[in-house]
Chain A
Amino acid sequence: MSKLWKEFSKGLWKDLPPFKVVLGLCPVLAVTKTADNGFGMGLAVIFVLTMSNVLVSIFRKIIPPKVRIACFIVIAASLVVSVELLMQAFAYPLYQQLGIFVPLIVVNCIILGRAEAFASKNPILLSAVDGLGMGIGFTISLTLLGGIRELFGYGTLFGTRIMPEHYKPFSFMVEAPGAFVCLGLMLSAMNIFTSWQARRKGQAVLDNPGHECRSCGICSR
């Protein structure tokens, strides 16, 4: 049980994407104009990630190692197609909002990264929990980033007006530059927090914990 909790919770804080593990940046930047969009995207990712982890874990013993990446991609792509169809059926406005980024979940490094680094080596239940945890962490991050950008960019949160009437929307935040700068500032805030925490615990302070794209493992093949 504690092991399950460990695998689940690491996605929520220790390896929280995309802050602790800088992966899957494109949707993070593109769909976080509003908290809504971020949340919707997050849900789609949770679905694909959990399912792909489960499937990869089921087939892990019969997939030949040489073509495993291709197999992972096919599994992810099939799941993404089903998400696309589901969204077209039940959440068409959101589907239109997210646009091209729904099919692009396929190439989100988180999916392949988790499949390669975790699901292909672990049993089904653990893999499912890992995918779920990572997905929820990703959703929280997306919603948070979307919330901040929406709050300053439109003055609203989940569509409801929060900022006072005379607040002039800071439209920089919802444009591309705002996405980059906002994420950069959040990463740096995260660093400050982590090093403060480490210092409090008396541990060695690492300069940049995990901020290298070394964690997905694909490029080292």
Chain B
Amino acid sequence: MILNSLLVLMGLGFTAATILAVASKILHVKEDPRIAQVEDVLPGVNCGGCGYAGCNGAANAVVEGKSGANVCVIGGIETAQAVGAVMGLEVLDMELELAFRDCTGGQRAEELFNYEGAGNCRAQALLYGGAKTCPEGCLGLGTCEAVCPFDAIHMGPEGLPVVDPLACRACRKCVEACPRGVLSIVSMSAKLLHLEEVNDCLAPCQQKCPANINIPRYIEAAKNGDYAGAVNIIRERNPLLLVCGRVCPRPCELDCRRTHVDEAVGINMIKRFVADWEMNNNLRLHIPCAKETGRKIAVIGGGPAGLSCANFLRRLGHSPTIIEAMPELGGQLRYGIPEYRLPKKDLAWEIQGILDLGIDVRLNQKLGTNFTINDLEEEGFEAFFMGIGAWASGTMRIDGEKAQGVISGTEFLTGIGLGQPPNIGDNVIVVGGGNTAIDAARTSIRLGCDVTLLYRRTRAEMPANIEEIEGAADEGVKFIFLSAPTKVIMDDKGKATHLECISMELGEPDDSGRRRPVPIEGTEERYPADTIISAIGQKPQLSCFYTEGEEQCNIDFTRWRTIDAHPQTLQTSIPMVFAGGDAVSGPDSVISAVGAGRIAARSIHYLLTIGKIPLADNTLRRLIPYTLFKDVDGCKNKTRTPMPHNCSGDDRISTFKEIEGCLTEEELQHETSRCLRCGLICYDRDIPLENVFTNRVGEKVE
């Protein structure tokens, strides 16, 4: 009996062991031993937070190189270091990722119907897509709070989830649970790289801003006294806040919802306040940068587009070098915009802050003259950004244009910027209606001249900012509308003495929608002029792209003689060359150039890191129709703070002192309180939501 059992057991055990031993030899599958090692150091909870099937799947992904050492979301830095040790990788600081809530509606959002079902957002979303009128907003039933395994999300007093940044481990559970896509996991880089999409919570001002600055959020931060927070929010989209706070034509204010109540919120004045607050206290707030990648990128042109592009590339971890043709950085900011609008010292302070991030600069280097793209490629630069601006002036195409005393607007302003004001005599005639013309006119006034501005259409058609035109009129610039130059009259030494002009009338509208001016025969008149400044249109100087002896150049141009670049990626016909700013769009605002700089930086970043530039179908391309209201009810009138002025009278017209001033803290409080904190369709009301009758429903935009 005992012998039997022993024999049977031993026999069975022996057979089993033999079969297994043989099988393990025959059926051996070569497997990377590191998979087991990596799996050993992972927590082994198989939570799936990393997106792979259990810890084994994660280990496989790490060994196959599909995932980095930081694959485990719950293990933290210790696990990452352990995995890194197995894989022989060095673990650098991981960029902090956090859940981020996009919607700002909450209890302000109107209800589409009265929902009384299960208290779960996903359940509610099954019913006509949810009970809120806004198609993208938070439903507020706290499903994210329920699924969060780290107790990091709580429904706040506004009916919106609030993420606790210390507890959040970016496990994506809430992102998966939310039926509205209100939550996302973002890092600092992801924020800088994000192109605004039609499903984002975008107030009209943010949609309209060419750089898509999150205006409602920074105004809210400023209102709460968190000026540093406001500065940081602006810097996510615009590194030139001191500059834009002064010279921005503020397209955002045109579509401000408050225009339907009283007047637009003074968005730019608020930006200027927080920017000035940083400068006047000499704070130089810390600007976070992603970890160094060591990729070299050449940014050609140190104007607003180039500065913005270099700034964002640096913050994404790359090493940009700005190459500038002029003796100092700033481009049109320094050589086009006069001192009284943008003091040079403020500009220098701002540029210094950007350069302090670790950006190299080469001055007095002109593309095509001192170097070529091929030279830079040989030096190790991997991508190129062309922010060369629009510095060539259009001609008046009239007799005597070559006469002494006829200069272009950019030439004139650049001379002033370089500190070499040209001798312009007493009588100055400026031809043109854009900002350059006004700048030239107002600068001439300050040089003590008698200035006349000639424009071929009427004041209503002038492309310059209204404030600028008013400012020029206040300072004594004489306007002659509906008049075009026909001939420059010279004396025998070839110096201009008079400008002959002809009166115009407005005819049929042309391509641009403006009525075409038509000359009236026999109305010629002569005006005395020592200097004639022609400021009629600027174009990029494209000659730098042609190498000597070759007819054709590799970069394509548009028929308006600007660089042809893809509108969403700003990639030119040479894949590694990107372009933005005035060089692509023709003369435009600073803020457009800043926006273009960021888009180009994004494209370059993706091209260098993942080899292609991802583009979402739902990228914001034009204003979202259902967010533009004709009336805004439930709001009380609050008068807009008038623009403060620093100087007036003689002081103003005889010196280059800055004219516009900064708000006081009380004025800032008033102005921020005027903001309606708009979302896509919700906004702050002064009366309770129940008392407002509304039938506004947004449409889902795919």
Interface residues of A (CB under 8 A from B): 74, 207, 212, 214, 217, 219-220
Contacts and interface: CB of A to CB of B under 8 A. Distances in A.
A214 B45 contact: yes
Interface in B17-53: 39, 44-46
Interface string B3-19: 00000000001000000
Nearest to A204: B151
A212 B45 contact: yes
A214 B44 contact: yes
Most-contacted residue by chain B among A74, A212, A219, A220 (CB, 10 A): A220
Nearest to B43: A214
Most-contacted residue by chain A among B13, B39, B46 (CB, 10 A): B46
Most-contacted residue by chain A among B39, B44, B149 (CB, 10 A): B44
B661 to A, nearest CB: 52
B43 to A, nearest CB: 8
A216 to B, nearest CB: 11
A217 B46 CA distance: 12
Contacts of A212: 45
Interface in B651-700: none
B55 interface: yes
A220 B151 contact: no
A214 B151 CA distance: 21
Contacts of B39: 220
Given A74-B13, A207-B151, A220-B55, 10 more contacts: A207-B149, A212-B45, A214-B44, A214-B45, A214-B46, A217-B44, A219-B46, A220-B39, A220-B44, A220-B46
Contacts of B151: 207
Q: Interface extent on B, as a size class?
A: under 10
A217 B45 CA distance: 10
Contacts of A74: 13
Nearest to B5: A81
Interface in B117-149: 149
Contacts of B149: 207
Nearest to B151: A207
Nearest to A205: B151
Task: State the 6 A-B residue pairs at the shortest beta-carbon distance, nearest first.
Answer: A220-B44, A214-B45, A212-B45, A214-B44, A207-B151, A220-B55
13 contacts: A74-B13, A207-B149, A207-B151, A212-B45, A214-B44, A214-B45, A214-B46, A217-B44, A219-B46, A220-B39, A220-B44, A220-B46, A220-B55
A212 B55 CA distance: 15
B575 to A, nearest CB: 47
A217 B43 CA distance: 11
A220 B41 CA distance: 11
Contacts of A220: 39, 44, 46, 55
Nearest to A78: B9
B177 to A, nearest CB: 16
Contacts of B46: 214, 219-220
A217 B13 CA distance: 25
A210 to B, nearest CB: 12
A207 B45 CA distance: 16
B75 to A, nearest CB: 13
Interface in B45-103: 45-46, 55
Contacts of B45: 212, 214
Contacts of A219: 46
A39 B679 CA distance: 64
Contacts of B13: 74
A212 B44 CA distance: 11
A219 B149 CA distance: 22
B327 to A, nearest CB: 60
A220 B44 CA distance: 6
Contacts of B44: 214, 217, 220
Nearest to B36: A221
Interface string B433-472: 0000000000000000000000000000000000000000
B55 to A, nearest CB: 7
Contacts of B55: 220
A207 B150 CA distance: 8
A94 B427 CA distance: 119
B330 to A, nearest CB: 53
B316 to A, nearest CB: 36
A219 B39 CA distance: 12
A145 to B, nearest CB: 27
A195 to B, nearest CB: 12
Nearest to A74: B13
A214 B54 CA distance: 12
A18 B39 CA distance: 27
A35 B382 CA distance: 77
Contacts of A217: 44
B166 to A, nearest CB: 12
A217 B44 CA distance: 8
A74 B17 CA distance: 13
A212 B46 CA distance: 10
B6 to A, nearest CB: 12
Contacts of A207: 149, 151
Nearest to A208: B149
A207 B46 CA distance: 18
A214 B46 CA distance: 9
A28 to B, nearest CB: 23
Interface string B227-260: 0000000000000000000000000000000000
Nearest to B56: A220
B44 to A, nearest CB: 4
A109 B130 CA distance: 46
Nearest to B149: A207
Nearest to A217: B44
Nearest to A66: B24
A212 B151 CA distance: 17
B636 to A, nearest CB: 46
A212 to B, nearest CB: 6
A74 B9 CA distance: 10
A219 B45 CA distance: 10
A99 to B, nearest CB: 24
A171 B64 CA distance: 56
A74 B16 CA distance: 13
B146 to A, nearest CB: 11
Interface in B371-395: none
A71 B46 CA distance: 26
A113 B576 CA distance: 59
A140 B151 CA distance: 33
A74 B126 CA distance: 54
A177 to B, nearest CB: 24
B629 to A, nearest CB: 44
Nearest to B150: A207
A214 B149 CA distance: 16
Contacts of A214: 44-46
A195 B26 CA distance: 53
A212 B149 CA distance: 13
A61 to B, nearest CB: 20
Interface string B575-616: 000000000000000000000000000000000000000000
A76 to B, nearest CB: 15
A220 B54 CA distance: 10
A214 B47 CA distance: 10
A74 B151 CA distance: 44
A112 to B, nearest CB: 16
A74 B10 CA distance: 12
